[in-house]
Amino acid sequence: PIFVITPTFARPVQKAELTRLANVFLLVPNLHWIVVEDSPQKSNLVKNFLHRSGLKYTHLNIETPSDMKLKSKDPHWSKPRGVFQRNEAIGWIRNNFQAGEPGVVYFADDDNSYSIELFQEISETKKVSVFPVGLVGGVMVEKPEVVSGKVAGWSVGWGKDRPFATDMAGFAINLSYLLSHTSAKFASKVKIGYQESEFLKHLIHFEDLEPISVDKVLVWHTRTENPNLNQEKKFLKTNGHSSDQGLEV
């Protein structure tokens, strides 16, 4: 199967985002969704959502420690996001599968946009595949530079000297390969933009990367606006209850 690991956290757009992910995942054969909530408890919203999704899934949760947690006033890139959750998912995979079993692992944040074709492309990953990601790193597209079928460098707008100048959405890992590299996990303290490099350096040498779909953008690092809820207070005052009383948004 393709194991898709998605960290997620409670906010007004959460269910909308998860709905968009479930839509594309339903079109992918043999996908196993590992959803990891950034919360001390599993929420009913995510629990019920997954239960009714029609997808094969595993529901986990782990709260980001408060000193590591992005505060609402922090710039969004100032703290690593989803790190504890991705590690939790990797731990679950290590506990439940053994090297030799077929599969691919992919990290799919809940706000990105995914094409169906992406999952066909990554499904052939032997060790670690890398591919273009749209709308990330201050440019229209970040991608591996490929010479004679090998990764020769990175076409990026900044941090070209990073060992693996790719976004979280820009690589996939063979399941057995991940399982046989037991030290691979994400670090909670890492230079900004080095999260992926930190992780991948445990796994692979640069020259062994498999560049795939190099002339196509199949995933986009979109971000969803925080909705304007500036009438909600007035609504509460006028009506004595919030607009979403008795109804899950």
Ligand X SMILES: O=c1ccn([C@@H]2O[C@H](COP(=O)(O)OP(=O)(O)O)[C@@H](O)[C@H]2O)c(=O)[nH]1
- Asked if residue 114 lies in contact with residue 6, where contact means CB atoms within 8 angstroms, the answer is no
- Closer residue to ligand X (CB): 93 or 169: 169
Cβ of 61: how many Cβ atoms within 10 Å?
18
Q: Tell me the two tokens of residue 215.
A: 């002339």
> If contact means CB under 5 to 8 A according to the sort of partner, which of Mn ion, ligand X, its own copies, none does residue 8 touch?
ligand X
Indicate the DSSP class of residue 64.
P
Q: Does 58 bind its own copies (CB under 8 A)?
A: no
Nearest C-alpha neighbor of 57 from the set 22, 87, 82? 22
Cα dist from 110 to 18, 58, 169, 241, whole Å: 6, 15, 11, 30
Chain positions 109 to 168 lying near ligand X, rule: CB under 6 A, are 109-111
196 binds Mn ion (CB under 5 A): no
Confirm or reject binding of residue 71 to ligand X (CB under 6 A): no
Kindly state whether residue 167 participates in binding its own copies, applying the rule CB under 8 A: no
204: closest CA among 196, 194, 212, 216? 196
Residue 63 annotated among the catalytic residues of the structure = no
Chain residues 49-68 in contact with ligand X, contact rule CB under 6 A: 64
Q: Assess 79 for contact with Mn ion (CB under 5 A).
A: no
By CB under 6 A, tell whether 198 contacts ligand X: no
Supply the residues annotated as catalytic: 196
Residues that bind ligand X (CB under 6 A): 6-9, 38, 64, 69-70, 76-77, 81-82, 85, 109-111, 223
